[in-house]
């Protein structure tokens, strides 16, 4: 298949294949995080890391650089097309993952992880952009939930796969498996992914044009509260991911059961993504996500009280954290759809800005939460309660103080676009 533009009406992929490919692109990023969670201790020991908390940098550096890198692929995709940028990102993921596999020092490993994050950030931005090219409103939220349901298979099984690899081989083969997955996704995308950028929506690669498009994304009141709020909620999840192996695997005594527990929680989270896909069209993205955010806050407060009282064990931590993660399923996809709704013609730039804010803010705050680990669940639970509360304030700002509204996209969404530019070659 060539890289020629394909319109919505002539899109060659059925929904199942489209959902599978978009999920696979996002899953490569998740695989770069989740598959190595059981190996963090062994990697740091093998590479001579003195401070146990520094092992978290293997995750934190990747996510921070992915956030920084996500500022750029959207503008490139608005000019050169989604397909080219996506294929370049997948190839970059393969190359840097291979460097990680052969790294002889912790410093080289972190450098390779950072570059990998920069290069593969497009695998977070491009699915969002392609999805916005094809859908809008509640239909976009529904499809994103289906993608998330499929994508969540990776967090479900990745830690168990990582654990299994270490039973028979070195931790370096964890990166080898990730390389193999990158090859599969690259071949699939190169053969089947068409170009979804409308020719008349191509944007010029000029600082003034790019800055103007990003300014629109950052100043639209109806969107800013949702992508900033989503970033804060995601920060709570990143804080958990950074210190999950230490807290659940070591402090709470899960040991070798940690990957299984992690996978079970992810499986339940995938189920709630599927439920969201079924109900969002009936109830609306706002009603569903606002309700979930309130439950997320209340659960975080309850969990923080349990941790502060010193009553935390696996039997309290796993159920309460699972509820919080399930609420994230209802929050993330819907917040993303609402955020991107105003930006049909500059979907790439908008997705880049939102991914940048979400990943950088989320990973920096998440890293701070993780590094605050003190042998208890207090930093994680307090972080989730605080981040959820701040997110609610931002949503109230975007919604002008009113929650649970069911709204059709207002006409100004369609009008608040940059002027169309003539199509360009390339």
pLDDT digits (tens, 9 = 90+) for 334-349: 888 888 777 766 667 7
Please give the backbone phi and psi of residue 248, each rounded to the nearest 5 degrees, phi first.
Answer: -75, -45
Predicted pLDDT of residue 47: 87
State the Cα–Cα distance between residues 130 and 212, nearest whole angstrom.
21
How large is the angle between the packed helices 15-34 and 172-192, nearest 10 degrees? 160
Q: Which of 426, 397, 80 is nearest to 224 (CA)?
A: 397
Counted domains in the chain: 1
Question: pLDDT tens digits for 378-404?
Answer: 888 898 999 999 999 999 999 988 888
Domain span at 129: 15-192+207-405
Is residue 92 included in any domain, yes or no?
Answer: yes
State the Cα–Cα distance between residues 36 and 29, nearest whole angstrom.
12
Is residue 180 included in any domain, yes or no?
Answer: yes
> For residue 133, how many C-alpha atoms fall within 13 Å in the half-sphere facing its CB?
30
Is residue 57 included in any domain, yes or no?
Answer: yes
Predicted pLDDT of residue 239: 82
pTM of the model: 0.68
Distances in whole angstroms, Cα of residue 330 to Cα of each of 52, 293, 337, 420: 34, 8, 12, 34
Is residue 412 included in any domain, yes or no?
Answer: no
Is the Cα dihedral 22, 57, 363, 320 positive or negative? positive
Please, are residues 146 and 274 in contact by the beta-carbon 8 Å criterion? Answer: yes
Is residue 424 included in any domain, yes or no?
Answer: no
Is residue 2 included in any domain, yes or no?
Answer: no
Is residue 7 included in any domain, yes or no?
Answer: no
Is residue 102 included in any domain, yes or no?
Answer: yes
CATH code, 119:
1.20.1250.20
> For residue 58, how many C-alpha atoms fall within 13 Å in the half-sphere facing its CB?
32
Residues in the chain with pLDDT values less than 50: 1-4, 410-426
Please, are residues 289 and 330 in contact by the beta-carbon 8 Å criterion? Answer: yes
């Amino acid at each position: 298949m060539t890289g020629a533009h394909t319109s919505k009406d002539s899109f060659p992929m059925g929904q199942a294949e489209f959902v599978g490919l978009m999920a696979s692109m996002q899953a490569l990023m998740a695989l770069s995080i989740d598959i190595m969670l059981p190996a963090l201790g062994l990697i740091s020991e093998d590479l001579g890391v003195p401070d146990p908390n520094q092992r978290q940098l293997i995750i934190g550096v990747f996510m921070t650089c992915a956030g920084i890198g996500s500022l750029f692929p959207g503008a490139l995709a608005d000019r050169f097309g989604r397909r080219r940028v996506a294929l370049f990102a997948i190839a970059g993921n393969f190359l840097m993952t291979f460097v990680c596999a052969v790294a002889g020092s912790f410093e080289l490993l972190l450098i390779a992880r950072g570059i990998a994050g920069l290069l593969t950030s497009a695998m977070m931005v491009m699915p969002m952009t392609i999805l916005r090219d094809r859908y809008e409103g509640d239909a976009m939220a529904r499809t994103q939930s289906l993608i998330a349901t499929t994508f969540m298979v990776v967090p479900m099984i990745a830690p168990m796969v990582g654990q299994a690899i270490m039973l028979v081989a070195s931790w370096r083969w964890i990166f080898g498996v990730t390389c193999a997955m990158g090859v599969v996704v690259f071949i699939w995308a190169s053969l089947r992914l068409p170009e979804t950028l409308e020719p008349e929506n191509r944007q010029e690669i000029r600082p003034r044009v790019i800055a103007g498009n990003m300014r629109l994304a950052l100043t639209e009141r109806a969107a800013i509260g949702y992508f900033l709020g989503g970033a804060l909620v995601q920060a709570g999840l990143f804080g958990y991911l950074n210190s999950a192996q230490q807290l659940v695997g070591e402090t709470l005594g899960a040991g070798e059961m940690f990957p299984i527990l992690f996978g079970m929680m992810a499986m339940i989270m995938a189920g709630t993504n599927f439920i969201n896909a079924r109900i969002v069209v009936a109830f609306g993205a706002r009603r569903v996500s606002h309700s979930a955010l309130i439950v997320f806050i209340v659960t975080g407060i309850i969990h923080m009280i349990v941790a502060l009282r010193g009553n935390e064990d696996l039997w309290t931590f796993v159920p309460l954290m699972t509820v919080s993660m399930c609420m994230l399923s209802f929050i993330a996809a819907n917040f993303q759809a609402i955020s991107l709704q105003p930006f049909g013609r500059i979907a790439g730039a908008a997705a880049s800005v939102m991914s940048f804010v979400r990943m950088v803010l989320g990973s920096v705050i998440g890293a701070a939460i993780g590094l605050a680990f003190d042998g208890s669940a207090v930093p994680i639970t307090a972080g989730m309660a605080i981040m959820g509360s701040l997110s609610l304030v931002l949503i109230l700002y975007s919604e002008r103080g009113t929650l649970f509204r069911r709204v059709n996209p207002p006409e100004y969404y369609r009008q608040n676009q940059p002027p169309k530019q003539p199509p360009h070659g390339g």
